[in-house]
A and B are shown apart, each in its own frame.
Chain A
Amino acid sequence: MSSDDVAQFNLVISGVGGQGAVLASDIIGRAAVSAGLHVMAAETHGMAQRGGSVINHIRLGCECGSMIPLKGADLLMALEPAEALRYLDFLSEDGVVVMNTVPVYPVTVMSGISNYPEVDDIVDKLKQTHEVSAFDAFELAREAGHPQAMNVVMVGAVSKYLPIPKEILLESIKELVPKKTIDINVKAFELGREMV
């Protein structure tokens, strides 16, 4: 079952509310439109944003609906390790995982109700079935100037897979991030891009 005829590129972005998944998908979506592609995307808003698990679907070159079918995504971009594994079923068998390795512990873990698996175990599990790029995107964001730019590091990391020229993605970043953080975010993008 492939969705290739319906959309040119299917991307799932997963993470935790507050990590900037919406901005990341905005950067990509807006750039794709500038590159002449139709875009359909679905976002998590509202209740799920308060530290909950979030998933965004982005379909580039798509004339249909915004929801990617199971095993329909070309790429899974995970801002958090557990959230990579949680949504793995959306990734096609030859799809690629690009993930940040720094966990965000849910309140249930911090108060001892549930356990967080070892990050290495998560990465190993993903590697059993898929090509995986896993790295500390927070460290790169800090290197770029601010840990909050982690989401843009991740956009940089997935950029080589996207059917969008790099320059257009950078334009989109400059338009969407706060003016005084443009330099930090451009650097974050570049550092992420070098990782993959």
Chain B
Amino acid sequence: MSTRKYMLGNAAIARGIVEGGGQVISGYPGTPSSEIVDTLASMDQRDFYVEWSVNEKVALEVAAGAAMAGVRSVVTMKHVGLNVAADPFMTLTYMGVKGGMVVIVADDPGCHSSQNEQDTRRYADFGLVPCLDPATPQEAKDMIPYAFELSEKFEMPVIFRPTTRISHGKSDIELGSVRQERAEANFEKMPERWVMIPKHARIRHPHVLKIQDDIKKYVEDSAWNELSLNEGSRIGVISSGIASVYAKEALENLGVEASFLKIGAYPIPEGLVRQMLENSDTVLVIEEMEPIVEDAVKIIAYDSGLDVKILGKSADLVPRDGELNIDICERAIANAFGMDIKESSGYDVDVELPIRPPAMCAGCSHRAAYHAMKKAFGPDAIFPSDIGCYTLGLQSGTVDTTLCMGGSITVASGLYNAGEKSPICCSIGDSTFFHTGMNGLLNAVYNKSNITVALLDNRVTAMTGQQPNPGMGKLATGEPTVEISFEKLCRGLGAEFVELIDPYNLASSEEVFRRAKDFPGTSVVITTQPCVIAAKRAGIKRMPFVVDSEKCTGCKQCVKFGCPAIEFDAKEKKARINSLCTGCSACAQICKFDAISEVKK
């Protein structure tokens, strides 16, 4: 009986957590990491605790607390999430853990769904913790039980860093056995470990430095680092993580005879690198993003007195930005070792293709809220925004800034305090408000920022795949819990102008936004309407709308609204509503000629 199963990389990672006996798993959604907790939370039978936390700092601390109690814990996030969690992370490395703790940080080279493409391996180096960098979904799953063991052996948290191509890759996975042993929670009072006052920190820092050599030796011999020396060749390629599969394929395609070192576990395996260097005259380092391996290899060569040419990013052969692929690796190898390759030229396609940017869904309430907001605030207003589906409002002119999670209200305050005379209205979603927006509102109210905050509550964390949040009264597992009221929360943070609107009612929404604009001080407008995807899944149905071509004058006001359900028939010069219509009625309210109406039953 085969145990091979076709799985998403993140589902394989979730399986690795189960096989490794993870007991407390926390996380904050973020592409490409979200499906790990999604998978665990949707399992029918669970012998572990799993939660969506309100942000990554919170999530990391929850997992750290569990690890202090001696149980195996995991925290998941996307790469930029570790910036939010960096404060506890950088001190947790001094404290260490008792139960194994794996910090899963999914990187996104190429910015498929991210605002930057920082390399988490830098954080591992910064925090002096081991890092595992899988090359395939299978390896990703297999690394998790090892990560728990490694963490427990050295009492250190371990970073596990998949990239988009691992997390959102799919492969047939050989399942392993599930560890049966579960630690009982048993928090031991050890102030010198768990209370990081200066006196204790000054003892723990040298301790962490001291164990680095032992960690290095242990990790070097792991299965994740693999050296294949080619005695007949004086060239070598060192590659890491996902890049190693591209590099290997490129070498095969080119028929190059070379030694090959694949690195999957950090700190860098110095002994293996040294063997590679001793066997080579020229070594090419192929890694995605930062030159972490490359710089380490140069240091090892220098320290060992080995005169080897080391190429990579420094010789401009391997790019430091974006994703790598087989074609880039082939070019890098050919250039490094002086080979000729036929440049693969594309086909001559002289047809201009329209760009297809992602857009808000048909009937999305954010579009309607933005419409009312823009009308009330006028074309000169400044619209700082945040991270979520509503960032797609960029095309509608209501997203003037997007810095990071929670960076809308705060940037708005800064603009105001800089002396901007234009009205300022920022937008932030429900989950992002809980994440780090709340602090910004508190700060704005406290410091008297005269700004308006549009809190776009679509009743779910939509962008990352419909995860629950504290505003919904539902846990990650679906279990009911307290439903946090945004109105009470904003009032609790000191806001005096707090009004709720139905964004599908354009006129009354605009009226409330106008009053919010006129309010001297920080005003909050909460727009409430469920995400259309969630509403569809919940079985909420509205009648679609239709254009009366007799009445339509072709003025395009509805088309400019930008809803994917509204098309313009260029031949007839009339608007048309397609099958995507979810019946929000916004276009009917926009039409000045009464040409759009609900389909009669």
Report the nearest A residue to B361, measured CB to CB. A50
B184 proximal to A (CB < 8 A): no
B351 adjacent to A117 (CB under 8 Å): yes
A25–B231 CA distance with the chains assembled, in angstroms: 42
Which of B136, B253, B354, B560 gathers most chain A CB within 10 Å?
A: B354
B170 adjacent to A52 (CB under 8 Å): no
Q: How many A-B pairs fall under 8 Å by CB?
A: 172
In the complex, chain A residues 94-122 whose Cβ is within 8 Å of any chain B Cβ: 105-112, 114-117, 121-122
A48–B106 CA distance with the chains assembled, in angstroms: 17
B316 proximal to A (CB < 8 A): no
A65 adjacent to B342 (CB under 8 Å): no
A56–B5 CA distance with the chains assembled, in angstroms: 19
Interface 0/1 of A57-99, CB less than 8 Å to B: 0000000111101111000000000110110110000000000
With beta carbons under 8 angstroms apart, the residue of B6, B170, B253, B556 that contacts A1 is B253
A114–B354 CA distance with the chains assembled, in angstroms: 6
Contact A41 to B169, CB < 8 A, known contacts A65-B246, A85-B349, A115-B352: yes
With beta carbons under 8 angstroms apart, the residue of A1, A47, A111, A115 that contacts B559 is A111
With beta carbons under 8 angstroms apart, the residue of A88, A114, A121 that contacts B347 is A88
A52–B395 CA distance with the chains assembled, in angstroms: 14
With beta carbons under 8 angstroms apart, the residue of B358, B463, B559 that contacts A17 is B358
Residues on A with beta carbons closer than 8 Å to the beta carbon of B252: 5-6
B464 adjacent to A46 (CB under 8 Å): yes
Residues on A with beta carbons closer than 8 Å to the beta carbon of B248: 64
Interface 0/1 of A29-44, CB less than 8 Å to B: 1100100001111111
Which of B6, B113, B356, B562 gathers most chain A CB within 10 Å?
A: B356
**Nearest CB of A to B226, in Å:** 14
Residues on A with beta carbons closer than 8 Å to the beta carbon of B395: 107
**Nearest CB of B to A121, in Å:** 6
A110 adjacent to B566 (CB under 8 Å): yes
Residues on B with beta carbons closer than 8 Å to the beta carbon of A33: 4-6, 172
A46 adjacent to B463 (CB under 8 Å): yes
**Nearest CB of B to A101, in Å:** 15
Residues on A with beta carbons closer than 8 Å to the beta carbon of B169: 40-43, 66
Q: Which of B267-275, B325-333, B404-412 contacts A (4 or more CB under 8 A)?
A: B325-333
Interface 0/1 of B32-44, CB less than 8 Å to A: 1000000000000
Residues on A with beta carbons closer than 8 Å to the beta carbon of B249: 3, 6, 64-65, 69
A39–B341 CA distance with the chains assembled, in angstroms: 29
Residues on A with beta carbons closer than 8 Å to the beta carbon of B544: none
Residues on B with beta carbons closer than 8 Å to the beta carbon of A47: 31, 112-113, 358, 463
In the complex, chain A residues 114-144 whose Cβ is within 8 Å of any chain B Cβ: 114-117, 121-122, 125, 129
A106 adjacent to B253 (CB under 8 Å): no
B171 adjacent to A108 (CB under 8 Å): no
B209 proximal to A (CB < 8 A): no
A181 proximal to B (CB < 8 A): no
B171 adjacent to A51 (CB under 8 Å): no
B559 adjacent to A106 (CB under 8 Å): no
A39–B252 CA distance with the chains assembled, in angstroms: 19
A64–B245 CA distance with the chains assembled, in angstroms: 6
B197 proximal to A (CB < 8 A): no
A43 adjacent to B326 (CB under 8 Å): no
**Nearest CB of A to B311, in Å:** 22
Contact A82 to B354, CB < 8 A, known contacts A1-B342, A43-B169, A50-B392: yes
Contact A121 to B351, CB < 8 A, known contacts A47-B31, A51-B356: yes
A16 proximal to B (CB < 8 A): yes
Report the nearest B residue to A147, measured CB to CB. B579
B355 adjacent to A114 (CB under 8 Å): yes
A122–B351 CA distance with the chains assembled, in angstroms: 8
**Nearest CB of B to A106, in Å:** 4
A160 proximal to B (CB < 8 A): no
B136 adjacent to A40 (CB under 8 Å): yes
A112–B354 CA distance with the chains assembled, in angstroms: 11
B567 proximal to A (CB < 8 A): yes
A42–B171 CA distance with the chains assembled, in angstroms: 9
**Nearest CB of A to B352, in Å:** 7
Residues on B with beta carbons closer than 8 Å to the beta carbon of A43: 8, 168-170
A169–B238 CA distance with the chains assembled, in angstroms: 40
Residues on A with beta carbons closer than 8 Å to the beta carbon of B351: 85, 117, 121-122, 125
B90 proximal to A (CB < 8 A): no
A89–B562 CA distance with the chains assembled, in angstroms: 31
Residues on B with beta carbons closer than 8 Å to the beta carbon of A121: 351
A82–B346 CA distance with the chains assembled, in angstroms: 16
A87–B349 CA distance with the chains assembled, in angstroms: 11
A58–B371 CA distance with the chains assembled, in angstroms: 41
A110 adjacent to B568 (CB under 8 Å): yes
Which of A83, A110, A117 gathers most chain B CB within 10 Å?
A: A110
A46–B358 CA distance with the chains assembled, in angstroms: 10
Which of B245, B465, B556 gathers most chain A CB within 10 Å?
A: B245
Interface 0/1 of B228-263, CB less than 8 Å to A: 000000000000001001101100110000000000
Interface 0/1 of B561-594, CB less than 8 Å to A: 0101011100000000000000000000000000
Residues on B with beta carbons closer than 8 Å to the beta carbon of A17: 358
A128–B478 CA distance with the chains assembled, in angstroms: 54
A48–B108 CA distance with the chains assembled, in angstroms: 13
B298 proximal to A (CB < 8 A): no
Contact A115 to B358, CB < 8 A, known contacts A6-B249, A64-B248: no
B168 adjacent to A45 (CB under 8 Å): yes
Report the nearest B residue to A111, measured CB to CB. B559
B346 adjacent to A111 (CB under 8 Å): no
Residues on B with beta carbons closer than 8 Å to the beta carbon of A86: 353
A8 proximal to B (CB < 8 A): no
Interface 0/1 of B319-346, CB less than 8 Å to A: 0000001110010000000000110101
Contact A51 to B330, CB < 8 A, known contacts A33-B4, A43-B168: no
Contact A69 to B325, CB < 8 A, known contacts A39-B6, A89-B346: yes
Residues on B with beta carbons closer than 8 Å to the beta carbon of A67: 165, 246, 325-326
A117 adjacent to B170 (CB under 8 Å): no
Report the nearest A residue to B248, measured CB to CB. A64
Residues on B with beta carbons closer than 8 Å to the beta carbon of A112: 556, 559, 568
**Nearest CB of B to A96, in Å:** 14
A-B contacts, 5 of them at CB < 8 A, read: A5-B252, A47-B358, A51-B356, A65-B249, A117-B353
Known: A51-B564, A125-B349. 4 other contacts (CB 8 A): A26-B170, A45-B465, A51-B361, A106-B359
Question: What are the nearest 3 A-B pairs in CB distance?
Answer: A65-B245, A46-B113, A46-B31
